[in-house]
Amino acid sequence: MNAVAQVLRWPVEEADRLRLALWTSAEIALATGGTAYGEFQVSGVEMDSRDVRSGDLFVALKGEAMDGHKFVDKAFANGAVAALVDRPVDGPHVLVEDTSRALELLARTARNRASARIIGVTGSVGKTGVKEAIFASLERTSRGTSHRSIRSYNNHVGVPLSLSRMAPRSQYGVFEMGMNHAGEIAGLTAQVRPHVAVITTIAPAHIENLGSMEAIAAAKAEIFAGLEKGGTAVIPADSEHFEQLRDAAQAVGAKVISFGRADHADMRLLDALPDAHGGSLVTAAMGGHRLCYTVAEPGDHWVSNSLCVMAAVHAAGGDLGAAGLALAGMGGLKGRGARLRLTVPGGHALMVDESYNANPASMRATLAQLGQTPATRRIAVLGAMKELGDFAPSFHAQLSEPLFDANVDYAVLVGDEMTPLARELGKGLANTLGKPLHFAHCENAGEAIAALEEFGLAGGDAVLVKGSNSVGLSRLVAHFGAREG
């Protein structure tokens, strides 16, 4: 039987009989309580006129500094079929009293009409990468009917927008949830209502607002409150807050699946060996079964992430074999581990783009990976870690240890918060090979670019770029990324 015949014999499922349109004008009006002007169907939902594609519904949101209604004409010019607005406009639209509330109502209807298995993901570190890996795992067997939130659409706007984009025929939906303050996850999980709630790890991100690690764990555990009846909580067995998370999950009647190296982990690491391409060969155990798979992403933290992914896919009823193939084929995301091969004097240099986010745990993890990366010289461009409050000086100063352990030759420190680390490095301490660590302390990304240009990249260099997004190190990555090839 040839390939065409096999495709024609592919079994037709009930969801395949549903229409392809995401929303009709009548459905949008009914969901939002608005009034439709014109009959139309849309294939997508977008809130940024610059990202509008042909067939989209443009949602004109209003914020403190910006009103999306100013960009309705641009959205139509870019291909929007209609707009969701709070005032009449030229062109097909649905008129509502409040567009933000209307988006939430559209999201609620999308969630109610879908029969998909829903996975919610949160955590201090790794949630975007884990979300993408879970999606890639489920997408391999769902015939294109898996859905997920894109980018880091994980807040009070991004979550309902992502839900509103979920088609009725979706078999799986994977949604990321983030927070800065207590109570935010609770509001998001009430919208997502996951069947599987995942916490990747607990680390001192946003500790400025929450005050303690216990409070961070409690804020992340809010995700369990939205679990559907009979749902599953996936939690890190190696966390010192494991018992707190487990108790919070069990308090709402959730089944608990833990992952990690601990003996009590349900998805337990047995062995992890480096492979020839920088990733890892992983052997894990779950129940009486063993799993062997490859993780393409480098670093010990991705070994842990892979266990989390496997546990989540299992909890969602997915195919673990497909998950292993997905983990073997994944590449780094922009700002979150993308690896750039730069053409420089003497050959090529590796630049690892981790410019989107940073906290003490992720800094240590990525510096450890830099230390394991074969290189003639290792260079670290480190931007300030935000939202650490009174803990900021000590957490920044403590980065001297992983810098020395990674045998970094040159460090570029960016931001005022890096002053305590600059003081530590200024003491002239040597690394494990007896070499001093040279460094420059810069105020902003522009100065960091100049410092790295003056230092001069050469063939065989490995460069880690990591910092909180607001530091703007993506500008440095773009500058040197122009030499990719």
- Would you state the structure tokens that stand for residue 320, as one six-digit string? 């673990």
β-strand partners of 232: 196, 255
Q: What are the b/e assignments for 433-442, b being 16+ CB within 10 Å?
A: eeeebebbbb
What local confidence, expressed as pLDDT, does residue 275 receive? 84
Task: Tell me the two tokens of residue 283.
Answer: 């052997």
Task: Please answer whether residues 448 and 472 qualify as being in contact, where contact means their C-beta atoms are separated by less than 8 angstroms.
Answer: no
Structural domains of the chain, ranges and CATH numbers in brackets: 3-97 (3.40.1390.10), 114-329 (3.40.1190.10), 338-481 (3.90.190.20)
What is the per-residue pLDDT for 337?
A: 85
The first and second tokens of residue 206, run together, are 């946003």
pLDDT for residue 431: 63
Residues 373-404 as b or e (16 or more Cβ within 10 Å = b) = bebebbbbbbbbbbbbeebbeebbbebbebbb
Say what the pLDDT of residue 278 is: 80
Neighbours of 35 (CB within 10 A): 12
Residue 236 contacts residue 202 (beta carbons within 8 Å): yes
What pLDDT is recorded for position 427? 85
Token pair of 408, please? 């970094």
Helices (H), 373-399: 392-397
Contact predicate 82/40, CB 8 Å: yes
**pLDDT tens track of the chain, all 485 residues?**
555 555 456 555 555 555 568 999 999 999 999 999 999 999 999 999 999 999 999 999 998 888 999 999 999 999 999 999 999 999 999 999 999 999 999 999 999 999 999 999 999 988 999 999 999 999 999 988 999 998 879 999 999 999 999 999 999 999 999 998 999 999 999 999 999 999 999 988 777 778 899 999 999 999 999 999 999 999 999 999 999 999 999 999 999 999 999 999 999 999 999 887 788 999 999 988 999 999 999 889 999 999 999 999 999 999 999 999 999 998 877 888 889 999 999 999 999 999 988 989 889 989 999 998 999 999 999 999 998 988 999 999 999 999 999 999 999 999 999 999 999 998 876 666 667 899 999 999 999 999 999 999 999 999 999 999 999 999 999 999 999 97
Q: Are 177 and 171 in contact (CB under 8 A)?
A: no
**What does each C-alpha distance from 458 to 341, 347, 403, 412 come to in angstroms?**
12, 7, 20, 16
- For CA atoms 308, 320, 335, 398, give the dihedral sign: positive
Whose structure tokens read 């409050």?
389
Residue whose tokens read 């067997």: 141
Contact 178, 127 (CB under 8 A): yes
Confidence (pLDDT) at 197:
98
Q: For the sheet containing 117-122, what is the strand order? A: 146-148, 172-176, 117-122, 196-199, 232-236, 255-260, 267-274, 280-286, 289-295
Distance of CA 377 to the CA centre of its chain: 30
